[in-house]
Structure 1
């Protein structure tokens, strides 16, 4: 993590941006107090493709019993 005062940050902004792109956090201070933080951007999320998920769930057979009964039966069988 790099800390730099505002005047130096103005003079070296492109270098600070390069550091942030490389994954480093840069703290900018004014009169010794932190006032801003440069951090790398995260990649935007990709939308989920629904068709493959719907095909998968559509091809699975329905369960014979509700999940509550299935879990209760498993728990009771292990206990006794």
Structure 2
């Protein structure tokens, strides 16, 4: 594991990120005392969009269970008249 001071890490940040990306761990020290460690981030699987569960959740909303949008809009317009 490579060890660098804060000043060295600031000056070489792009190179350090390249090294970390390739799998190397880097320790950053302040006055010789370790304060941080750079390691490669864990890979996350891509989250897919589940359309069926989205539509099911949407249809459970109160607005969608009683009437359609056209009927709701007509009720709102009728109620606004004096």
Q: Would the TM-score normalized by the shorter structure come out above 0.5?
A: yes
Which runs of at least 4 in structure 1 moved beyond 6 Å after TM superposition? none
**Map 1:46-61 → 2, pairs under 5 A:** 46=46
The runs of 5 or more residues in structure 2 that have no matched partner are: 48-82
Alignment partner, residue 5 of structure 1: 5
**What does residue 64 of structure 2 align with?**
none
What residue is the counterpart of 1:72 in the other structure?
none
Q: TM-score, normalised by structure 2?
A: 0.54
> How far 1:46 sits from its partner (Å)?
4.8
Q: Say how many residue pairs are matched.
A: 48
Partner of 2:32: 32
In structure 1, runs of 5+ residues without a counterpart are 48-80
How many angstroms apart in 2 are the aligned matches of 1:12 and 1:46? 31
Q: Which residue of 1 aligns with 2:16?
A: 16
CA RMSD in angstroms comes to 1.5
- Residue of structure 2 equivalent to 1:61: none
Question: TM-score when scaled to structure 1?
Answer: 0.55
